Amino acid sequence: MNDNSHAFSARPFSQVLTDVGAVDDPVLPMTELVGTFGERGFGALLLTLGLLSAVIGVIPGMTTVLGVPIMIIGVQLLFRQDELWLPGWIMKRDIPRPAFAEAAGKVKGRLQMVERFSRPRLAFMSTDLSEALIGLMCMIWAAVLMLPLIGFNLFPSLIVAAFGFGLMQKDGVMMLIGWVISAGMATFTWLVWETVSRVLVATWEMVTRIF
Query: pLDDT tens digits, residue range 110-165?
Result: 888 888 888 889 988 888 899 999 999 999 999 888 887 666 778 888 999 999 99
Q: What is the pLDDT of residue 42?
A: 84
Q: What is the pLDDT of residue 3?
A: 40
**Averaged pLDDT, 14-22:** 84
Q: What is the DSSP string of the chain?
A: --THHHHHTTS-HHHHHHHHHHSS-SEEEHHHHHHHHGGGHHHHHHHHHHHHHHHHTTSTTHHHHHHHHHHHHHHHHHTT-SS----HHHHT-EEEHHHHHHHHHHHHHHHHHHHHH--SB-GGGGSHHHHHHHHHHHHHHHHHHTS--TT--HHHHHHHHHHHHHHHHTBHHHHHHHHHHHHHHHHHHHHHHHHHHHHHHHHHHHHHHH-
**Averaged pLDDT, 33-54:** 79
Q: What is the pLDDT of residue 59?
A: 67
The phi and psi torsions of 94 (rounded to 5 degrees) equal: -125, 160
pLDDT tier for residue 105 given thresholds of 50, 70 and 90: confident
**Averaged pLDDT, 194-202:** 85
Q: How many CB atoms lie within 10 A of CB 41?
A: 18
Q: What is the pLDDT of residue 164?
A: 92
Q: Would the pLDDT of 10 be above 90?
A: no
pLDDT tier for residue 40 given thresholds of 50, 70 and 90: low
Q: Would the pLDDT of 6 be above 50?
A: no
Q: What is the pLDDT of residue 1?
A: 36
Q: What is the pLDDT of residue 160?
A: 93
Enumerate residues 6+ apart whose C-beta is below 8 A from 64: 145, 146
**Averaged pLDDT, 11-33:** 83
Domain ranges, ordered by start, for the chain? 4-182
